[in-house]
Homo-oligomer: A and B are copies of this chain.
């Protein structure tokens, strides 16, 4: 029996209540501010049940926002082979995920909200920073890892924006192989090459 006595400890009603509470908490408090304990309280269940169904806070976010991929399972494929060829791997993986997402794409919806609402921007920024950027920053073996990661994020955000949201014809018509060959070297340079930044 559920500790609170308000909800049975299983079944899809409980899971929906947890996801609803999670969406509300992430939107309201941001990714950093939301807690499993607070979400459990709002859903009227024990925190252990939230962990049981959804794992970590990151995995709960992925489930609640219906993201097409879980960074914690995708990043190893990008990072573990090392920095050699990492630029091309990032482009190929993201284009594969987005090309196959089709018209129903909750990640696009999240990105749209993040562009238009301050709270959604905070939530998106915090999630991307903790779940994605922090791991990329750690993998970089060069100066200015945060700036390098930010520039990678800028190119990838722009690729997604122009190919999938604004639908610029040249970017829609490009094949995945062309995008890998064209944009992969950009990311490779951002992550591994000397940047020749101005001093001071």
Contacts and interface: CB of A to CB of B under 8 A. Distances in A.
Interface of A: 111-112, 114-116, 121, 124-125, 128-129, 133, 146-147, 149-151, 153-159, 161-163, 165-171, 174-175, 177-178, 181-183, 185-186, 189-190, 195-198
B162 A153 contact: yes
Contacts of A196: 181
B198 A166 contact: no
A199 to B, nearest CB: 10
A191 to B, nearest CB: 12
A153 B168 contact: yes
A115 B195 contact: no
Nearest to A165: B115
A170 B147 CA distance: 5
A190 B189 CA distance: 13
15 contacts: A121-B167, A146-B170, A147-B174, A147-B182, A149-B170, A150-B171, A150-B174, A153-B168, A154-B159, A155-B186, A157-B158, A157-B161, A158-B158, A177-B198, A178-B198
